[in-house]
Copies of this chain bind each other. A is one copy, B any other.
Amino acid sequence: MVDILHRVGVKTPSPEKVYEALTTVDGLAGWWTDDTTGDADVGGVIAFRFPPGGFDMEVIEHRPSEHVSWKVVDGPEEWVGTTVDWELRQDDEMTIVLFKHQGWKEPVEFMHHCSTKWATYLMSLKSLVETGTGAPSPRDVRIAFPD
């Protein structure tokens, strides 16, 4: 079992805006993909779509301003059954975001790609909260050519 781990610090006085960007369809569309639909409440399923495909995430837990957890219920075979966790913690004027995408069966090349791509989306989330503008798909940062 191998995991994708990341950490960013978002300059914001409280975790509220980051939490909102992780727990509402509008917030998620602001940094991950324009094409975000579904039910973002606990027990609901959010559909994230990108030009090449997408992911359906069941919302497992919302602990306000502290923790968000999703389970992948549909998407690429390597993703189905994996979990995505977001832990938030305030540290002075910065919200620390600890990200874990866990449960990958094998460290396949696609996992290397997803690890780098998640980093760019976390930077997009940081930018959304700090400046009001993220870089969601299809305006996402390209890490390969074609991506």
CB within 8 Å of B: which A36-78 residues: none
Inter-chain CA distance A147–B93, complex, in Å, is 13
Contact B115 A143 (CB under 8 A): no
The answer to whether the Cβ of A133 comes within 8 Å of any Cβ in the partner chain is no
Q: How far is the CA of A107 from the CA of B6 in the complex (A)?
A: 10
Number of copies: 2
- Provide the bound-state CA to CA distance between A31 and B9, in Å: 22
8 A Cβ contacts from A126-146 to B: 126, 141, 143-145
Give chain A's interface residue range (CB within 8 Å of chain B): 20 to 34
B-contacting residues, A76-122, CB 8 Å? 93-94, 96, 98-99, 107, 109, 111-113, 115-116, 119-120, 122
Q: How far is the CA of A96 from the CA of B147 in the complex (A)?
A: 11
Find out whether the CB atom of B9 lies under 8 angstroms from the CB atom of A144.
Answer: yes
**Would B9 and A111 count as touching, CB distance under 8 A?**
no
Check B94–A144 contact: CB distance below 8 A. Answer: yes
Q: Is A35 an interface residue (CB 8 A)?
A: no
Query: Distance in Å from the Cβ of A76 to the closest Cβ of chain B?
Result: 15
CB-contact partner of A143 in B3, B8, B93, B109, under 8 A: B8
Q: Is the CB of B123 within 8 A of A99?
A: no
Q: Which residues of A contact B (CB under 8 A)?
A: 2-11, 93-94, 96, 98-99, 107, 109, 111-113, 115-116, 119-120, 122-123, 126, 141, 143-145, 147
